[in-house]
Amino acid sequence: MRPTVAQALAALWLLIAALYTPPAGAETVCLTLDGGENKRIFEVAVGDKLSLMFTHSIFGSQVEEHFRIGATAFQLTELRYTEPRLVEFYGHESARREAGGWVVRPKPILLPSLNLNLSADASMSLHFDRHADSKQLVIQPGSALRLTVATCENSAHG
């Protein structure tokens, strides 16, 4: 029997809590992952990195989106594509070939939230890059999630 989306989200958040603790003394913010009926909040450090890794729905090749967690938003810092046709597809003019892929470092873009919508056959992982050995967290296919960042006092966290 396959787990429900709510069960998968609960398991994901237990894993996140086990893997991640903000460093002592760091300014923290609360990230909220809202999956409709299942909403989870956890603390992270301002300045930490966040990466989304997924397979492109049209071309079937790997894409990575790298963000820095800010006090009120996510800052897009880098895009990585395994194929040059993805660079062209998105209209980037400043891609460079690095480490077997194509890298775009866009002008600073602040995003107050990230919408993570996966089809039933999609795969995506979320990676907190504070430790070299940190793990990737798999987001379940068919999920429709919204990830937001806010001060913990403004969330329902505390």
d(CA 92, CA 63) in angstroms, rounded, equals: 14
pLDDT at res. 154: 56
d(CA 53, CA 123) in angstroms, rounded, equals: 8
**62-70: average pLDDT:** 94
pLDDT at res. 137: 61
> What global pTM score does this model have?
0.76
What is the percent of the chain with per-residue pLDDT over 90, rounded to a whole number?
A: 31
pLDDT at res. 46: 93
pLDDT band at 20 (very low <50, low <70, confident <90, very high): very low
* 9, pLDDT greater than 50: no
Q: Kindly report the backbone phi and psi dihedral angles of residue 139, in degrees, each rounded to the nearest multiple of 5, phi listed first.
A: -95, 130
pLDDT at res. 60: 84
pLDDT band at 6 (very low <50, low <70, confident <90, very high): very low
Name the nearest CA neighbour of 121 among 141, 96, 151, 135: 141
Q: What is the DSSP code (8-state) at residue 82?
A: S
